[in-house]
Amino acid sequence: MSTVNMRPSLASISGVGPSGPTTATATSSRSFKPCANCTCSYGQLSRQGRRSSALLKQINFSRRHSHFGNPPLSPTSESIYSTDSICQLKSTETAKRLLALRKQMDTHDLCCYIIPSEDEHQSEYVSQADERRAFISGFTGSAGVACVTRDLLNFNTDKPEGEAILSTDGRYFNQASQELDCNWTLVRQGEDPITWQQWAVNEAHEMSLALGGKPTKIGIDPRLISFDQVRMFEKVIKDKTEGTNAKIEFVAVADNLVDKIWCEFETMPVRDLNELLLLDRKYTGECYKSKRERVMNKISKDHNGASHLVVFALDEICWLLNLRGSDIEYNPVFFAYLVLSNDETILFTDNPFDDKIENYLSENNIKVESYQNIWSFLSDKASALAEKKETILIPSNSSWEIVRKLYGSTMKRVSSPIEVMKSVKNETEIQNAHSAQVKDAVALIQYFSWLEDQLVKHEKLIDEHKASQKLTEIRKTAKHYMGNSFCTISSTGSNAAVIHYEPPEENSSMIDPNKIYLCDSGAQFLEGTTDITRTLHFTEPTQEEIDNYTLVLKGNLALERLVVPEGTSGYNIDVIARQFLWQAGLDYKHGTGHGVGSFLNVHEGPIGIGYKPHLVNFPLEKGNIITNEPGYYKDGEYGIRIENDLLVKEAEGLQFGKRKFLKFENLTMVPYCKKLINTSLLTPEEKSQINDYHTRIWSSIVPFLQPSSIAFKWLKRETKSL
C-alpha cells in the first residue's frame, strides 16, 4: 500500500519558500548559503546581527505608507540588517516579481489584483502549483490574501509602481513578519484598523477620484474566490463610492496573472495527478449507493424536489465516492468535480485508476469525464435546465466561476448536505478512529521517550527537523500508515511561540533541553486521521512556564468535562477553554478546535470551536470528532499548546423535555507533561480527571511496549498518579 505523497510543501504549515527552505526560528546565528532567486526574509537576516544603515534607509523608503491615505499598517519586521549576506536578494527578487505582475495588470487595465491562498476547490492546503500567494509574496503560511496595486497615476509602463499588502490571521503574525520583505506590508486581521478588502477599495477609490471619476478595476481569478466573498467585496465598493463620483469595478480575470509570470522566475510546478485508492467497507462503514441515496433524498426534501447538485470540495467528493487520492500534500484527496442528478453521477477528473476502480465506477453508474470539461458542462447544463425549469443546487461557498457558468439557470445556492453528513462519523469510523489513536500514541510515546533520552542522558545535539524526521520514521512502522496529516511542528524555545511553525530542513535550530519543546503532529491511517499536540520540558522549567502550562491544561480539561444540550455550537463553548487564561490576563490568537476527517483532511468543516460567528450555524452532533487545543504563546520565549481529539457522544440518561445532551470522549492516548503541572492550581476534580486519563493511557498503550524499553519506563513515569 503506497503512502500519501510526502514531498515538501510550501502550504502545509509554514517555513518553506518557493525557492527552497526558509527559516522561521527566532534565535541563534546562522550562515546562509547563496541561493538562486533567494526568498530569505529580513527577519532571518536579523539573526546574523549585522546592521546596515544604507539598507535601513532603502527599506524605510520602500515601506512608505500608501500615498492614497490609507491608515498606517503593521511593519513586517522590527529591525533590518546587513547586506553582507546573499539574502539581501530577497528585496530584488520580490521587486522583480511584483514588477512583472504589474505589467500583466497593465494589459488588463487593472489598478489592483487579488491573490488568495485557496485553489479552485477552496482548499485550505493546496498543491505546489496552486501556491500563487506564496510565490508572489514569500509568505508560506496556509492562510492569507495578497493585494497588489498598480499606480494609474504613474505613466511609466516599463516600470509600473504600486503597493503590496499581505493580510493574515493571528496564527501567522509572527511568521509573516519574518518571511515578508520590504516590498510588503502586513495587515493583521482583527488587529489593524483596516481589512484587505477595504484597503484594495480605498486604493482604487483614490485613483478613480484622482483621474476625474474614471472607472478603476480590481481583478481576481474567479475560480479562486467564493461568490459570497464577491458579494461582500461589492458591498465594500458600494459603501465607499456612494455619494462620490468615483467608479470601481470588481472584475473576473480568466487568465491567472501569477501563472503567466511564474516561468520567468522558476520552473512552474504542475499539479500531481496520482492513482486513486478505493477504500474497503471495513474503513468506510457505508457504501457509495447508500451515501448517494441519503444525499439525493436530502436535497429533494429540503429544496422542493431539486434533482441536481454540484460538488466541488475535494474531501466531500472523496467521502461520497469512498475514494482517496494523494494530489495535495498531507490530504488524501484528488482533483475532481462531481455532478449528481436523479439519472446519473458524473465525475470530472484526470487522475488514473486501476481496473478494480474502473469496474467499481461502472457498477455504480458513475461516468468519468475530463477535469476541465466541468466548465463546458455547467454552461450547457445552465441552458438545458433553464428550458426545463429544473433547479440545480450548488454549495453556498462555490466559486464565482461556477456561478458565472450557471448564469441564466434556475440555480440555488445551499449549504452542502455532504459537508454535514461527512462530519458525523458512523460506528465503523468511530471504532477505526480509536484504533488510529492507539497506533499514533504508541509512536508519539516512543518518540518523546527517545528524544528525552538522547537530549538529557546522552547529551546529543538534535535539531528540530531531524527530530521530526525521527517521528515520521517511527510512525512508518505502524500498520496502515499512509503519511502525516500535516507537516510536523517540532519547535524549541522561542520557535514554539510561532503558532504554525515548520522547522527548515537546513539550519534548523538545535532542540534545547533547558527550554520548552512543542510538538504538534498528526498521521493518516486507513483507519482515520489524528492531530495531537504535546508541550514538554526535559529538565527544569521556570515557575512561569509551569503556571501557564497549568492554566492551558485547566482550560483543556474543563472543555473535555463539558456537558451541553443538543443544538449547542462550538461558538458557544469557546470561552470554557479560555477562562483560566483570561483570569490571568492571557489569551491565544487561534480557535480552540476544528473538525477532523476520517482518513481525510485534518481540518474538516463545518464544525469548530472558536469565536467565528458562522460556527453558530453548525451545532455539534453525536459522532463528530473535534480537537480541543487551547494554548499560550509568549513571543520570543516559548509557546504552549495541548491538543486532544474529542468524540462527541450522547450523555445517556440526560434529557430536558425532548432535548438530549452531549458530552465529549477524549480519544487521544498521550500523557500530559507532569513536570509542567502545578498541582496546587488544580482542583480535586481536575486531579482525578488527569489521573483517570493517565490510567486509561497506561492500560491501553503498555501492551504495545517492551517492558525493558525506554518508552515503557517513560510512560510509567508520566502516567504515575499526581
**Cα(616)–Cα(569) distance, integer angstroms:** 5
Question: Cell 521530526 sits at which residue?
Answer: 468
Would you state the pLDDT for residue 158?
82
| Mean pLDDT across 338-360 | 97
Would you state the pLDDT for residue 382?
83
**Distances from the Cα of 215 to the Cα of 150, 245, 417, 597, 711, angstroms:** 14, 10, 41, 46, 68
**Cα(601)–Cα(604) distance, integer angstroms:** 6
Over residues 276-333, the pLDDT tens digits come to 999 999 999 999 999 999 999 999 999 987 889 999 999 999 999 999 999 999 999 9
Q: Which residue has the higher pLDDT, 366 or 28?
A: 366
| Mean pLDDT across 660-680 | 98
**Contact between 73 and 185 (Cβ < 8 Å):** yes
**Grid coordinates given for 667:** 480519544
Would you state the pLDDT for residue 90?
38
Residue 61 has pLDDT above 50, yes or no: no
Question: Cell 484598523 sits at which residue?
Answer: 193
| Mean pLDDT across 99-128 | 96
| Mean pLDDT across 328-345 | 96
| Mean pLDDT across 204-212 | 96
| Mean pLDDT across 445-474 | 98
For residue 590, which of 626, 631, 621 has the smallest C-alpha distance? Answer: 631
CA 529 to chain centre: 15
Residue 457 has pLDDT above 80, yes or no: yes
| Mean pLDDT across 20-32 | 33
| Helix H or strand E encompassing 535 | strand 532-536
| Mean pLDDT across 66-82 | 39
Please report which confidence band the pLDDT of residue 78 belongs to, taking 50, 70 and 90 as the band edges. Answer: very low
Residue 42 has pLDDT above 80, yes or no: no
Would you state the pLDDT for residue 666?
98
Contacts of 434 by beta carbon, 8 Å cutoff, 6+ apart: 667
Count CB atoms within 10 A of the CB of residue 342: 11
Q: Give the mean pLDDT of the chain.
A: 88
Over residues 463-518, the pLDDT tens digits come to 999 999 999 999 999 999 999 999 999 999 999 999 989 999 999 999 999 999 99
Kindly report which listed range (63-77, 250-264, 429-443) carries the lowest average pLDDT score.
Answer: 63-77
Question: In one letter, which amino acid is 45?
Answer: L
Over residues 530-578, the pLDDT tens digits come to 999 999 999 999 999 999 999 999 999 999 999 999 999 999 999 999 9
Over residues 131-161, the pLDDT tens digits come to 999 999 999 998 999 999 999 988 777 889 9
| Mean pLDDT across 371-388 | 89
| Mean pLDDT across 579-601 | 97
**Distances from the Cα of 28 to the Cα of 38, 140, 528, angstroms:** 20, 22, 38
Residue 686 has pLDDT above 80, yes or no: yes
**Grid coordinates given for 238:** 458600494
Would you state the pLDDT for residue 699?
98
| Mean pLDDT across 63-81 | 39
Would you state the pLDDT for residue 66?
40
For residue 416, which of 488, 314, 521, 280 has the smallest C-alpha distance? Answer: 314
Q: Which residue has the higher pLDDT, 614 or 156?
A: 614
| Mean pLDDT across 618-641 | 97
Domains and CATH numbers, the chain: 16-262 (3.40.350.10), 277-423 (3.40.350.10), 427-718 (3.90.230.10)
Residue 51 has pLDDT above 70, yes or no: no
Would you state the pLDDT for residue 643?
98
**Cα(19)–Cα(12) distance, integer angstroms:** 15
Q: What is the CA radius of gyration of the chain?
A: 26
**Cα(162)–Cα(151) distance, integer angstroms:** 5
pTM given for the model: 0.86
For residue 597, which of 279, 169, 145 has the smallest C-alpha distance? Answer: 279
Sheet strand arrangement including 489-492: 489-492, 517-521, 532-536
For residue 650, which of 585, 563, 543 has the smallest C-alpha distance? Answer: 563
Kindly report which listed range (75-79, 115-119, 261-265) carries the lowest average pLDDT score.
Answer: 75-79
Please report which confidence band the pLDDT of residue 73 belongs to, taking 50, 70 and 90 as the band edges. Answer: low
